Structure 1
Amino acid sequence: MNKTVFFPLLFFMVSCIGLAQSVDDPFSQKRMRKDLEVFKNIRLKANSGLYKYRTKEQIDSIYTWADGAIDRANTYGDFYNIICQLTDFEGSLHNDTRLPERYNQSMKKEQNGYFPYPVKWIEGKWIINFAKGEIPLGAEIVSINTIKMSDIIKNLYKYYTTDGVNTTGKRIGITYNFSKYYRLHYGLSPVFEVAYRPHNSHEVQNATLKGIAYTDYYKNVRQRHSEPFDEVDYKDWEEGETYSYKDIDGDTGILRVNSFSLGNKQSSSHGRYLTFLDSVFTHIKTKGIKNLIVDVRYNGGGTDPNDLVTYSYLTQRNFKENKQAWISFKKLPYLKYAFTKIPRFLRPLGAGKYNKMFKNNFPEEIDGKFYQDENNEDHQIRKPRPHAFTGNIYLLIGPRVASAGSLFAAMVAGNDNTTVIGEETMGGYYGHNGHTPMGYILPKSGMAVFFSVVNLEQDVPQKSNQRYDRGIIPDYDVPQSYNDFLQNRDTQMDFTIDLIRKNKNR
């Protein structure tokens, strides 16, 4: 799944083209060390989020670990895993490490060695999420090839980045790509010895499963039991299904916003969204709706100012997009490694307009950091709409919420009249690295690495239940129950409606 970012990429993307190669192919330690040096230097110079959640000592320590890991590494995949670990350790959902396309194509052609069934996290356990297999639907996986499932999952976290030390968001990637991630970390396996525990049983049973093809695993993913319920975690939303409103009864309504990818303020799609919001909140005020469920559980982000405009209908305070924002460079560094199709000798010319943009947007230098000033649009004071909602807000959040989605959710969660329900988001409450993504190609491996360069502190109040290095923490932690998993029923929505009814009767 590609996480949505605020602004378009700085550079045109291009796939690495070449002969098919396997991640199991040998890759020299000399080439690994060259790329590790380039990777580290780029992060030190260009990534303002390097020390957002980690101390300098922790970053130095993991690079010492990486250097030692290279001593034990032999294959291209070994080095990919090292870079993924470094990327994930920083703690930014906009971080990404991508294999060259020839390696992806090689994996897609592999005919054996993949774990056959999709899995899902339910009630603290990783269970089988497939109804037509040799292991019963809903059975807890205890171990695979004698490795505890809890250890396997920890080793797979590095392939799906989230803000801070959040892990709920990583489940989005693992639910869909478990077998691919397993293959990348543990290699191909012709058979899988699985220890499992059927639901409501203490007895551990065993099954021997044959490895299957890459493509066959993804056929099973598309037929997973939970697909009717959780496909919304993986959708690219069309405008017509992005937002909606309906009354539940005379006192309560539901506003759903599944994405903020609705264009910028000059676009027609943004104009249509503004019209929608105005009509909805006019209706809410006219009808006297007292309770509003705001459901953003599947909102992975989008473009400004859709998130901010939506919040202006849900607040009674003046606000701005962020309290501060800064980058760590004056000019684009390491242009020769930039992820672009522009020839190297022309890159300084092409970079000129971006350097000018950065200079205009981040003019204040303080201790080697370059900050936005009060003239920047991100610091514009915004006011609540005249007919902004003043009743009880019930905010539904989940692990999919990221980027502009989590910025919006954090602002709403900061309201005194908001009750937050669901699961911790992958995007942070107090801030994140976002806005402007940059990409680089590591010269020896051809791996593409991406990160967003703007370190943001969001305009939200301090709250005792919100941690700096985590996603947004709900007031009521309500994951899907096992029985609701079996029936593909919405535990969180049922809980919210029941809570509103209880509050009415008090």
Structure 2
Amino acid sequence: MIKKGLLLIALLMSSSVVFGQKKYSELTKEDYLNDFDILINIIKNQHPNPFRSINAKEFDKKVVEIRKNLEENPSYATFLLSNPIPLIHDAHSSLSTDTTIFEDFTKETTFFPMNTIVYEGKVFVNQHNPNIPVGSIITSVNDVNSKSYLDRINVTTDGQIVADDAKDFSFYVSLMNPGAEEYKITYQDSLNAVEKKEVTIKSVNYARNYYNVQKAILPVDLISYSYGIYGRKLNDDTYLLTIKTFAFSEEFAYQKLSSFFEKLNADGVKNLIIDVRGNGGGYLSNIPLFYSFISQEKVFKNSYRYATKVVDINVRENLIDGSGRQYSDMDIKNMNNFMYQRYDKSEVPGDEYYYGNNRLDESYVENYPRDRYYFEGNTMLLIDNNTVSAAAYFASLFKENKRGMIIGQETRTCSNFTTASWFINYKLPNTQTVVDLPRSEVFFNNLISTREGCRGVLPDYSVDESAFYKSLIKEEDPELTLALELLKRQLQEPELKEP
């Protein structure tokens, strides 16, 4: 998946100006191909386990195909579409566009004229607009069916996880139709409509595209993105706790959670719905802290183990720190020492891993006590295709301890391991694109699995297409609506539990 630099506040704050770098208008075919080749070398030699889900031969075969297309159609849009990182099935490896180059690109191209959302392989209109009714299903664009577009959009996921609903259809269709002056759109104006209609709409500039994104109907809950942790009352018996990140300091997180759960218990609340949809993760050490407020056991297991096949910095060129500064030889030496002090080579014959030792994570607590403000009532968890990293570990703990129903979609990262640790960055010299790679895998519950694939945390209940469409039209939260319906059913059918 491509992270669009113009929208990344963190990158805007941390990127330094590189004098002498090429402008967007100066980029050539050779520049794109050179950066692509450098990227392939970085993936092969620096990722902690690049061939877990794809063998080297198959990877090379697909890379040849992608490179050939880039060679035949050299452009910035094609370069973004040629991202090979999704091939290795690691949701934590990604590319971030350079803010200046991406901004210049957006000023010289055009964009799809409305916001959309993908659900169960269908593309729904997700914005009020004068041309197509909200909820309409787009079946083709410029005589190419929507499925063909979706198949070409690569989303970085772990293992065998399919996360089609995380695909940004509007943005990638824009890349696949660079500079289009208009879009011929075929659509059905309702979920069950038989007749297909057609409309031709002029493309929009990036400013309008950005506006369209902000005017999307779903997701309904946007305030929680501002607060990170946001709790509110749904009715006398039910509260909602939305967690959009686990990257807070322990002190801040505890202050927010203890205050919320103290009031929850004082109010005699019976049901708690926890929402980690769209949660990009954070600190693993925070996960047991958050879970300690809902644990049914006085002490619960919090086990994870770090492992990597690559402890050295093998690719030294273009390696940068958080401010964009090139690492020196001394910096790299210190990075290598850090890994060797904290990772020990396995003594098991045939095991290629280095495993983290006790020095690696001083905050690690295996037998974790529940909090004094713990909630013992009925609990549900909302997850989706954008629940990743540490958030997937939280969902894994929730499921393993049978804490309640899980509603939504499969998480985009694995239920038994993740690669979220000790990230390093490379800046490709021509396009200035930043490559973000983890340095280690992290196995949950000491389950060291070298099998090729994995699955994310799976929900007990999912919103069907009809209910999703209904929620979109009514501008309601589909998963939250289902959770409340299940709570009503529990009152009528007390035996209703996890399926």
Pairwise TM-score range, normalised by the shorter structure? 0.7 to 0.9
Establish whether residue 384 from structure 1 lines up as the match of residue 369 from structure 2: yes
Distance 2:241 2:182 in 1: 47
1:149 Cα deviation (Å)? Answer: 0.8
Q: Deviations over 1:429-481 (max 9, x none)?
A: 1222112211112345433211212111122889xxxx953332101012552
- The partner residue of 1:21 within 24, 33, 42 is 24
Is the CA contact (8 Å cut-off) linking 1:14 and 1:339 kept in structure 2?
Answer: no
**Uncovered stretches (5+) of structure 1, i.e. residues with no partner:** 264-269
Compared CA separation, residues 281 and 205, structure 1 to 2 (3 A): closer
Is the CA contact (8 Å cut-off) linking 1:126 and 1:149 kept in structure 2?
Answer: yes
Distance 1:444 1:221 in 2: 29
Establish whether residue 48 from structure 1 lines up as the match of residue 39 from structure 2: no
1:192 Cα deviation (Å)? Answer: 1.3
- The partner residue of 1:439 within 425, 435, 438 is 425
Distance 1:476 1:219 in 2: 33
Distance 1:50 1:44 in 2: 6
2:489 corresponds in structure 1 to 502
**Uncovered stretches (5+) of structure 2, i.e. residues with no partner:** 5-9, 494-499
Distance 1:216 1:391 in 2: 46
1:2-41 pair list within 5 angstroms: 13-14=15-16, 18=21, 20-22=23-25, 26-28=28-30, 34-41=34-41
Is the CA contact (8 Å cut-off) linking 1:308 and 1:321 kept in structure 2?
Answer: no
Q: Deviations over 1:240-267 (max 9, x none)?
A: x6232648445x544332322212xxxx
1:356 corresponds in structure 2 to 337
Number of positions where the alignment pairs a residue of Structure 1 with one of Structure 2: 470
- The partner residue of 2:356 within 372, 393, 408 is 372
1:204 corresponds in structure 2 to 196
One-letter amino acid of the structure 2 residue matched with residue 318 of structure 1:
F
Q: Deviations over 1:195-254 (max 9, x none)?
A: 112114211121111222121222222233x0571546xx7533xx6232648445x544
Per the alignment, in what secondary structure is the counterpart of residue 472 of structure 1? coil
Distance 2:459 2:290 in 1: 20
1:486 Cα deviation (Å)? Answer: 1.4
Q: Deviations over 1:128-175 (max 9, x none)?
A: 2232222222221111111001111222x22x433334443x54451x
TM-score between the two structures when normalised by the length of structure 2: 0.82
Is the CA contact (8 Å cut-off) linking 1:312 and 1:384 kept in structure 2?
Answer: yes
Is the CA contact (8 Å cut-off) linking 2:121 and 2:147 kept in structure 1?
Answer: no
2:313 corresponds in structure 1 to 332
Establish whether residue 142 from structure 1 lines up as the match of residue 136 from structure 2: no
Compared CA separation, residues 16 and 427, structure 1 to 2 (3 A): farther
1:148-187 pair list within 5 angstroms: 148-155=145-152, 157-158=153-154, 160-168=155-163, 171-172=165-166, 174=168, 178-187=169-178
Q: CA RMSD in A?
A: 3.4
One-letter amino acid of the structure 2 residue matched with residue 119 of structure 1:
T
Is the CA contact (8 Å cut-off) linking 2:43 and 2:85 kept in structure 1?
Answer: no
1:268-347 pair list within 5 angstroms: 270-278=250-258, 280-281=260-261, 291-315=271-295, 316=297, 318-322=300-304, 324-340=305-321, 347=328
Distance 1:311 1:106 in 2: 45
1:56-75 pair list within 5 angstroms: 56-70=56-70, 72-75=72-75
One-letter amino acid of the structure 2 residue matched with residue 320 of structure 1:
N
Q: Deviations over 1:262-293 (max 9, x none)?
A: 12xxxxxx324324434555566677755432
Compared CA separation, residues 469 and 481, structure 1 to 2 (3 A): same
One-letter amino acid of the structure 2 residue matched with residue 143 of structure 1:
S
Compared CA separation, residues 68 and 257, structure 1 to 2 (3 A): closer
Is the CA contact (8 Å cut-off) linking 1:435 and 1:452 kept in structure 2?
Answer: yes
2:456 corresponds in structure 1 to 471
1:491 Cα deviation (Å)? Answer: 2.7
1:267 corresponds in structure 2 to none
One-letter amino acid of the structure 2 residue matched with residue 435 of structure 1:
S
Is the CA contact (8 Å cut-off) linking 1:120 and 1:128 kept in structure 2?
Answer: yes
Per the alignment, in what secondary structure is the counterpart of residue 492 of structure 1? helix
1:237 corresponds in structure 2 to 226
Is the CA contact (8 Å cut-off) linking 1:118 and 1:128 kept in structure 2?
Answer: yes
Distance 1:133 1:108 in 2: 24
Is the CA contact (8 Å cut-off) linking 1:13 and 1:339 kept in structure 2?
Answer: no
Per the alignment, in what secondary structure is the counterpart of residue 476 of structure 2? coil
1:106 Cα deviation (Å)? Answer: 1.5
Establish whether residue 188 from structure 1 lines up as the match of residue 179 from structure 2: yes
Establish whether residue 133 from structure 1 lines up as the match of residue 118 from structure 2: no
1:488 Cα deviation (Å)? Answer: 1.2
Distance 1:348 1:419 in 2: 51
Is the CA contact (8 Å cut-off) linking 1:298 and 1:401 kept in structure 2?
Answer: yes
Q: Which moved more, 1:477-486 or 1:373-382?
A: 373-382
Per the alignment, in what secondary structure is the counterpart of residue 443 of structure 2? strand
Is the CA contact (8 Å cut-off) linking 2:32 and 2:75 kept in structure 1?
Answer: no
Establish whether residue 426 from structure 1 lines up as the match of residue 412 from structure 2: yes
Establish whether residue 490 from structure 1 lines up as the match of residue 490 from structure 2: no
Distance 2:159 2:182 in 1: 36
Distance 1:486 1:425 in 2: 25
